[in-house]
Structures are given as C-alpha cells and as structure tokens.
Amino acid sequence: MPVIEYIDAIRQAMKEEMERDEDVFVLGEDVGLKGGVFTTTKGLQEQFGEQRVLDTPLAESAIAGVAIGAAMYGMKPIAEMQYSDFMFPATNQIISEAAKIRYRSNNDWTCPIVIRAPIGGGIFGGLYHSQCPESVFFGTPGIKIVAPYRAYDAKGLLKAAVRDPDPVIFFENKKCYKLILGDVPDEEYIVPIGKANVLREGDDITVISYSMPLHFIEQAAAELANEGISAHILDLRTLQPLDKEGILEAVRKTGKVLIIHEDNKTGGVGAEVSAIIAEELLYELDAPIMRLCGPDVPAMPINPPGEKFFLLNKEKVKEAMRQLALY
Amino acid sequence: MMKTMTEIVVPQLAESLVSATIDKWLKQPGDWVDIYEPVCEIITDKVSAELPSTVAGKFVRILVGNGETVPVGTPICIIETEGSAEGAGSAATHGETAPPEKTADSSASSNQVEDAPMRNRFSPAVQQLAAEHAIRLTDVQGTGLGGRITRKDVLAYVASGAGKANQAVSGHPGAVAPRTVDAAAQVRSSGMHLTETPRFPKIEVESSSNSGRGDSFIDVTPIRNTIARNMRQSVTEIPHAWTMIEVDVTNLVLLRNKLKDDFMKREGINLTYLAFLMKAVVNAIKDVPIMNSMWAVDKIIVKRDINIALAVGTEDSVHTPVIKNADHKNVAGLAKEIEELARKTREGKLTLSDMQGGTFTINNTGSFGSILSYPIINYPQAAILTFESIVKRPVVINDMIAVRSMANLCLSLDHRILDGVICGRFLQRVKDNLESFNLESKLY
C-alpha cells in the first residue's frame, strides 16, 4: 500500500472526485494557477482547466456564496478557505444559508457543498494563521463537520463529503500536511461521515480526540504502555454529527475519560462530548471527566515560548493521561 | 544480606496539603527504628503529627533539619534496611513507576489517622459494580489516588473470587482482603466510622424455579400504600350505608350544549357537567350542613367551610385534590378549579395544600362509564357522592313516555352521623338543584 502525505491524500480525493463527476469543481484564493498556498490543489487546474478550478477574489463570503448558489443548481463545489482563520467573513453564508437551505425549502432544495479549511497551530503562524474555529460552527444543525487526523481518513472523508447531499465543513490540519504520512490504498474507498474510529484498545483510560492531538496521544499511549497504563483511544473523525454510540462504547470500556483538543476549552467540542457522557453514563464513570484543551486566551502567540505554552504536545498529553490513570 | 537505603518522604496527610514543617526529630543517626515507629514530629496547616517510619532499620541520616518546611513528597531522612524482601522493596518498585503514588502509598501503610483521603470516596462505577456483585467495598484494596478504590480494583476483586471466599469461609487463610478490614477497623477508634460501606439496596431476584408460573411482582408505590391505608381505615372505622337517586338532567344537557362553545372560546377550558353538579351539591350542603361534618367520638364536628374534594383518577392511582371554599364560587369558577386540579393531578404537580382540608367528596364516576357505584368514604368525612353516566332513557312523565337524559347519583354515608331521612333530603336538594338548571341559567 503506498505511503503518502496527508496533503497528497486530500489532493488525490479532489482529483478523483473531479474525474468521477464533472459537476465537482474547486474554487478559492490562489487554488488555480498557484495550486494553493499549501499546494493542496496543485496540478488540478492543468488537468481540469480554468472552468473547474477557479481563482477567486479575496472575499470568503463570495467564495461560500458562489458555492452555495452553484450547489443549488446541481453542482458539487469544493470551496477552499485559505486558512480557517479567514473563514469568518463567510460564516453568515455558511450558518444562515448553507445550513438552512434544506429546512427552509421544505426539502425542495439541497446544498451539497464542501468547505475545506485548514486549522491548527504549531507552524509559527501566530494570530491569523493558527486558529481552531470548530466551536463556531459546531452545534449548528444542518452542517456536517469532519476533522481527519491521518492521510487515510483525509482522503476517505473528503470523498464522502463531496458525495454528501448536504453542506460539509472539512477541517484539515495544516500541521499534518507534510508531517503525517500514512498508508492510503490505491483502490476506491470512502470513510463514512458520522463514525468515530477506535485507534487503540485499552482498559485503563479512554482518550477521545480529533485531528492533530491524536498523534501526541498515540505516542504517549505507546510510552505509557511501558508503565503499565493501557489507553483506549477514540478518534471522533466527525464532529457533527457526533458518533454518540461510539463515544459511549469507548467510555464504557474504562469509566475514565480524557477529552483532548487544540481548540480552546470553553465551549469546545469536548464540552459537548463530556455532556453526552455525563447524561448517559453517570453510573459507569470511575473518575471525573477530564479535558485537556487549548487555554482560553484570545489567540495563538507568535513568540516561540508562547506558542509552546499554548500548544499541546506529547508530554502534556502523557501527563494528563497518567494523572487520569492514577486517579 | 543486602543493605538498602530507604528514604522516608513527607506523606500527603490531607488532600489540600502541599507542604509540611519538621518540628522535632525523635530519632538520631545511629538509632534503630522499628516499622511504624515515629521518627519525627511534623506540623502542617491542618494537623500536627508524628511521622512513622515505613520500614525497620538503622537511622542513617537526617536530610531536613528542625523547623524547615518542605513540599509533600520530599525525602526527609534515610534509613538503612536489611534484606529488601518485604515492604521496602515493594515501596521502591512503586516509586520507580509512579512517583506521585509513592507518597500516597507509603502514607497509606504508615500514617494511620489520615492514611487514605480518597479511600471512602466511591465513584458511581465502583458503587454500581459493588452492588451488582454484592461486594463489601471495605474488603477491596484501593490502588487509585489517595487509596481510592478504582473500577479496575473492583473488577480484579470480582475476578479473584475473593468476595465469595469471604462469604463462604470466614478467615480463609488464602483470603487477603479480610485482614485489611481488621486493620482498618482497629485504626478507627473515634466515633466516626469512615470505613463503613454505604448500604446498597438489596435486590431480591425471584428464582424462576420457585414461582414457575411467571407471576410478576409490582412494588407498592408510596401513593398506592397511602390509598390502601386510607381505604382500609375508612371501611373498618366507618359504618357505611348507601343510597341512590336518579336525576333528569335533560335541561342541563341543553344548557351546556348552548354554552360550551362560547365558554371554550372565552375561558379556554371545557365546560363540564361536573361543574354544574358541584354547584348543585354545594348549594344542597348549605341547606343540609350536617352533610359537611365528621365524627369525633363524643361529638360531631360540623365544618363551616365547604371544601369539596374531587376524586381524580390516573392509570394507577386516585387522588382527591380539594377545591377550597367551593360555596364562594360560581359554575364558571368551579369549572376552572376542576380543570386546574385535574391538570395538576395528571402532571403529578399536586402540592400538599392542594390535598388538605376536604369536607365532602365528589367522584365523577360517569367519566369512566359507570352507571352505578358504591364509593368508599374519603376518611374522615361524613359522605361521598358519585355522579354516574348521563344516559338517555324512556321515562314516564304525566303518564306519557318521554326520552330524557338521566343520571344516577350514589351516596355513601357515615351511619354514625347521618341517617336515611336527612340523606334523602340532601339528595332531593341536589336533584332539585340539578333539574332546575335551564336555558336561562347563568354561569357567572
């Protein structure tokens, strides 16, 4: 099985979907001639032409709005937000229009758009290039949100997102782009939206996370195994809708749960996950539900010590996991 | 024989404790120290205590002098032990893998007053498992933070079968757990018995071989129990007598049909026959006040207020909420009260004050299709009246047969207070009142 980069997996998914279905097209800032600032769309315009790989003005609201209009005409747009930080001008289009079209039209219209947006820090990006805006869109009925952590899921989920009849936000982690390599089969596959994935079986603690921090968690779990601590790791993969059964099943394994994400703690995905657990599984909990998240500060610092303080790493994750195991 | 150097550390004496001060050393280098023998006195924000040694051996060196304050977990002296086979060895291995646990662990075995602050804090998972397997949690070793019993500890205990061994043969030599209880029991000499396990409800499971026929058992709910008690008290104490009268409510039916749609529009509730009946009963009670009384052995108490209790049934119980001062209300007011109480009953929102002070009870048995019933008096009242279904029947009026809407009223009475004549007069008054409603009658 070929080993490819996370970013290649995303590009492959778009390429294959555009070959499969001529209604699929890509639009965004610098996605065409330049091939995207991260080279995610490199080669697509050469292959599919300017009509299907559109360079847009610097106006995220327009990118989302055009995509929504095209989708309602039966197209399958993939709209790229260059950084998820730049996504907020498009928030009104996404939350008030895309998410509500099916409901508002009483099922007459659908809005099959995909919005790709890179999240996460650790790339010396500071204020405007490091945010994790999941919690802004999380909890908006009508949109689906996925956030893959490895190449296999990135490709499979993006394909599922393109084929989904409703709007899907695809949060890819920019730190993962070149850092993460993984097996991706040549043959066609998709990863279903709404299904969490058990990455590691264990019986001491359950760790629930998504996106980049899972790599720290997997490393920490391997090291903690030497200390006799066995961790059960669940990758949410889809944030909206959450895989409730998957979450509850994973928590039942150990009764001790740690939720980890890079987005800040207050009002994050972890808050909802922990509420689900508290609602459903009180009598099976063996320890307080723990969360390890980004601190509630306004932005990712640009100075290296500040960035290090803000970001999760293997040591922080390991310490939290050990604490919970010892409880 | 191997000599090992063992450090004695400041234990976690209480959850919030972060540091302790050495007050005075009780042992000096060269002294022999027995296990659990105090080596020094320490002062903290919370307690002053002697710190016992976790091992037996020769006192080698003091690391922290008198009066110095050090964080929890800091080594304060070194004791040389011989042959690390026992406690010292295990403590050391623990220390290597999990440093934070070391303090808790050593203190658990040494300090006897505050040994395991989390020992008696049971998580829901632990309590559930303990109840499921009928385990005494005092028998289970806690390996979690501060001696806490973790879910895994319970599972391990179940898997080891220790609980069963304990039940079958007390003092079985192989069972380690009971010894722990004894040790703990000895430690607690004060009035607080913190090691006592919270009691779990024992769930008796009927073995299928005995009952065989598949009978099911329904627990008696508190409300069922109350109903049973009141009914039995009423039937055993009150000599019940019973009488019935039939009423022609044809005009009332016409009146209600005329008013009910407007009433619904105006008030948002149903205009029920019950409201008219209640008005008729209240007015009759005014004429025959003895109906509104209770037996008090050497006297009869005639109540001044007319508070009508209304029997309201649900699937599995019956309540009798009370309409206070029913004589102050007109038909519309009564209809509203009835609606309100019925709603509260259905929603389970009746308060104690809704239930108290009834002086006479009405039961709308017609609502479930009855045409005749023998009600039990709502103790300690004097009588109860039922309002049966309204049915169309051929009736002889002036030697002619007419189709009229008829309803039965049944009355159970306390024969200590009431007799046939007075009750006959009361029922006649109710009948007159009901039959005198006509299309001109006013609701307000």
Residues A238 and A137 in one domain: no
Domain B3-109 maps to which CATH number in 3.40.50.1370, 3.40.50.920, 2.40.50.100, 3.90.650.10? 2.40.50.100
Residues A154 and A94 in one domain: yes
Stronger pLDDT, A210 or B91, i.e. the higher one: A210
Which domain range does residue A311 map to? Answer: 197-326
Contacts of B385 (CB under 8 A, 6+ apart): B281, B360, B361, B362, B363, B375, B409, B410, B411, B430
**Shortest CB distance from A286 goes to which of B97, B100, B123?**
B123
Residues A249 and A313 in one domain: yes
Domain B230-435 maps to which CATH number in 3.40.190.150, 2.30.30.30, 3.40.190.10, 3.30.559.10? 3.30.559.10
Please choose, from the candidates A7, A269, A280, the residue with its C-alpha nearest in 3D space to the C-alpha of residue A118. Answer: A7
CB A137 within 8 A of CB A170: no
Distance CA B163, CA B341 (A): 53
Residues A132 and A11 in one domain: yes
CB A185 within 8 A of CB A130: no
Q: How far is CA A39 from the centre of its chain?
A: 19
pLDDT, residue B203, reads: 53
Chain B partners within 8 Å of A203 (Cβ): 152
Domain boundaries, chain B: 3-109, 124-208, 230-435
Residues A258 and A228 in one domain: yes
Active-site position among A129, A215, A232, A261: A129
Is residue A189 situated within a structural domain?
A: no
Q: What is the CATH number of the domain that holds A285?
A: 3.40.50.920
CB–CB contact B124 A326 (8 Å): no
Chain A partners within 8 Å of B93 (Cβ): none
Query: Against a cut of 0.90, is the pTM above it?
Result: no
CB A119 within 8 A of CB A84: yes
Q: Does A296 touch chain B (CB under 8 A)?
A: no
Number of independent structural domains in chain A: 2
In sequence order, what are the beta bridge partners of A144?
A168
Residues A172 and A257 in one domain: no
Residues A69 and A204 in one domain: no
The per-residue pLDDT for range B62-118, each reduced to its tens digit, is 998 888 888 878 889 999 887 644 444 444 444 344 444 444 444 444 444 356 788
Query: HSE-up of A290 (CA within 13 Å, CB side)?
Result: 20
Q: How far is CA B267 from the centre of its chain?
A: 38
Contacts of B119 (CB under 8 A, 6+ apart): B142, B146, B147, B148, B149, B194, B195
Is residue A188 situated within a structural domain?
A: no
Distance CA A60, CA B69 (A): 60
Q: Does A287 touch chain B (CB under 8 A)?
A: yes
At B427, the amino acid letter reads: L
DSSP assignment, residue B326?
A: G
Distance CA A150, CA A215 (A): 9
Q: What is the CATH number of the domain that holds A51?
A: 3.40.50.970
pLDDT, residue B83, reads: 63
- Look at A40-54, A83-97, A216-230, B24-38 and tell me which has the smallest mean pLDDT: B24-38
The per-residue pLDDT for range A85-139, each reduced to its tens digit, is 999 999 999 999 999 999 999 999 999 999 999 999 988 888 999 999 999 999 9
| Length of chain A (residues) | 327
Residues A156 and A253 in one domain: no
CB A232 within 8 A of CB A247: no
The per-residue pLDDT for range B302-349, each reduced to its tens digit, is 999 999 999 988 888 888 999 999 999 999 999 999 999 988 888 888
Distance CA B63, CA B60 (A): 10
Total Cβ atoms within 10 A of residue A115? 30
Residues A61 and A25 in one domain: yes
Distance from CA of B39 to the nearest CA of A (A): 29
Residues A20 and A118 in one domain: yes
Compute and round to an integer the Cα radius of gyration of chain A: 19
At A79, the amino acid letter reads: A
Distance CA B119, CA B117 (A): 6
Q: Does A204 touch chain B (CB under 8 A)?
A: yes
**For residue B42, pLDDT beyond 80:** yes
CB–CB contact B101 A287 (8 Å): no
DSSP assignment, residue A231?
A: E
DSSP assignment, residue B206?
A: P
**For residue B259, pLDDT beyond 70:** yes
pLDDT, residue B190, reads: 40
Distance from CA of B360 to the nearest CA of A (A): 46
Residues A109 and A247 in one domain: no
Q: Angle at the Cα of B220 (from B216 to B223), degrees rounded to 5? A: 145
Distance CA B285, CA B293 (A): 10
Residues A174 and A220 in one domain: no
Is residue A68 situated within a structural domain?
A: yes
Q: Give B2-21 as a 3 state SS string.
A: CEEEEEEECCCCCCCCCEEE
> What are A89's two structure tokens?
């001008």
Strands (DSSP E) contained in B377-435 are: 383-397, 400-414
The per-residue pLDDT for range B193-240, each reduced to its tens digit, is 444 444 554 555 555 555 556 788 888 887 888 889 889 999 999 999
